Amino acid sequence: MSALAGDWQPRPDWAGILAEQGAENATLVILDQREGREGRWVVNPERAAERLSPASTFKVPHALFALDAGVVEDEFEVIPWDGQERDVPAWNQDQTLRSALRYSTVWVFQRLAEQIGAERERAYLSEIGYGNATLGDDVESFWLDGSLRVTAIEQVDFLERLYAMALPFAEADQRLVKDIMINEAGRDWILRAKSGWDGQIGWWVGWVERSGGPVFFALNLDTPRRLADLPKREAITRAVLHRLEALPAPQ
């Protein structure tokens, strides 16, 4: 997939939603595959083609790597806490793959990366064509330290392949990762998503499943106000998804 395929249509009308949230430096990519509503839309196409650190959004492909490599068996295997107190209270306990994705537990994926090893990590990155597929010097931080970089359009491409179970992994593993990505669901829709933040760039990526087809999204934005900027990720994306009727209107 090219960095800026010609069929991505700019949506300047959505820029107002970003402006309302004070997100001047941001991009949002939407791929709507619902029957009769198909479209490929982007706010700020130049930034959508810029490769940035994926931060914790990489936990989605990383979970697939760990399952394929056999360093974690399933979503029930307990990953013992090392007893080291960390800033996020939810991290200070034993974890499973499901809880590690939900709480974005960094130490779990650092341990899994060490067990997978640099050679296999590089092979997996190359095999799925994830961003620049670059590991850098530290197998425990390459998705956080700027070595690995991916565009918003490439994020959507990866998610589209995961949705279709078209990645080079066992179908059961892809189904499992899709299951642990569920954020919320209604009678006729499911939202699967993952956030990310490296201290400078915030992400929210995923898709909404509807009966007519999926709607994929990838947003990234600068976070000069750090934690105060993080709620903007979901607020902006949800506002656009509501406008597209991909998510039901808020009550």
User: Which sequence positions are flagged as catalytic?
Assistant: 56
Tokens of 196: 């990310």
Q: What is the largest CA-CA distance in the chain?
A: 53
Give the burial class of 207: count Cβ atoms within 10 A of its Cβ; 0-12 exposed, 13-18 middle, 19 or more buried.
buried
Q: How many CA atoms does the CB half-sphere of 235 hold within 13 Å?
A: 15
Distant-in-sequence, close-in-space partners of 175: CB < 8 Å, separation ≥ 6: 165
Q: Crossing angle, helix 152-163 and helix 171-180, to 10 degrees?
A: 120
How far is Cα of residue 5 from the mean position of the Cα atoms in its chain? 20
Give the burial class of 62: count Cβ atoms within 10 A of its Cβ; 0-12 exposed, 13-18 middle, 19 or more buried.
buried
Distant-in-sequence, close-in-space partners of 92: CB < 8 Å, separation ≥ 6: 81, 85, 86
Phi, psi at 202, each rounded to 5°: -105, 140
